[in-house]
Amino acid sequence: MASVKMILDLDTGVDDALALAWAVCDPRTDLIGVIASYGNTLVETAAQNTLDLLHLLGADNVPVFLGESHSSTTQSFDVMPISKAIHGDNGVGNIDITHSPRQVETMSGIDFLIKMAHQYKDELVYVPTGPLTNLSKALTIDPEIAHLIGNTTLMGGALTVPGNVTPFTEANIHQDPEAADHVFREQERLTMVGLDVTLRTLLTKKHTQKWRDLGTKAGIIYADLMDYYIEAYDQLGIDHRGAALHDPLAVAVAIDPSYVLTIPLNMRVTYDQESGDYGRTIGDRERLLEDTTTQVAVGVKTERFVRDFMDFMIAVLND
């Protein structure tokens, strides 16, 4: 029996595709929907990628909703060249994946999140792996969801290590620092899974060869996806040893927090563009004496996580 109702919020690039696969196959989760976001690609592309990957994984029953198409302070969004280099022009390593027969839902992702928060309350686990624009807007419309959602586990931020966009800023937070600050200040039962831990979870082509050796369509496509990602990490000088499992770790922690060591710390995000630390995730000095609403991951059980990740992936790709 699934122990949690899960909503993913994905800007579906390569590591989002891995996170989606984990959520689909883990028997402890009931994936009740996916909200598309912008970031690694455009929101419409992210939604179609998600539908197509769900179809590939035999999970056409999971609905996909459109979230916001740009940050809370802009009127449009363009994919950064570095995102295209890492994830491909189409977000999924420039691989053609068979289109799903299912369409994006007509209800907005924001309305879906609010409705599910009221319906499931403590049972609901929400996992955003892109910018926090969708959650911020939902909180603006209905502040009560800050107290209703059982747990929000986000992939984003960097507390103890440098950022990957600027010396201070991680990419997801950088897309909409104002929304991220709003979420950190308002959302309760929040866990930040940032670069502090995700950079310690590397996958190599030795791992993806095991998927390829399954001989299944899903195994070959996911191996091609991850190999593209690993090669991008190498060519761009991000890491020559392999590629980080950013988004899958957030899903894993949302299901089983024991994968990481956390510290309780109320957080804020700087968003003064004149400052030298725009988009920095840091402890909120004004709330140091208040009840803590956020846990920040600072350590990870790497071997256990990668082993479990591979076990789940082989199970879902061999199905």
Backbone torsions φ then ψ of 120, nearest 5 degrees: -105, -20
pLDDT tens per residue across span 158-175: 999 999 999 999 999 999
- CA 258, 260, 262, 266 torsion-angle sign: negative
pLDDT at 205: 97
CB 36 within 8 Å of CB 10: yes
Which residues belong to the active site? 11, 246
What single string gives the DSSP state of each residue in 37-97? -SSSS-HHHHHHHHHHHHHHTT-TTS-EEE--SS-TT-S-----HHHHHHH-TTSSTT---
**Segments in the chain below pLDDT 50:** none
pLDDT tens per residue across span 224-271: 999 999 999 999 999 999 999 999 999 999 999 999 999 999 999 999
Euclidean distance between CA atoms 266 and 283, whole angstroms: 6
Q: Which of 35, 33, 31, 29 is nearest to 9 (CA)?
A: 35
pLDDT at 1: 57
CB 165 within 8 Å of CB 281: no
Look up the CATH superfamily of 4-317.
Answer: Ribonucleoside hydrolase-like (3.90.245.10)
pLDDT at 116: 98
Strand order in the sheet with 4-10: 64-66, 29-36, 4-10, 124-128, 151-155, 190-193, 294-300, 260-264
pLDDT at 2: 67
Q: Where are the domains of the chain?
A: 4-317
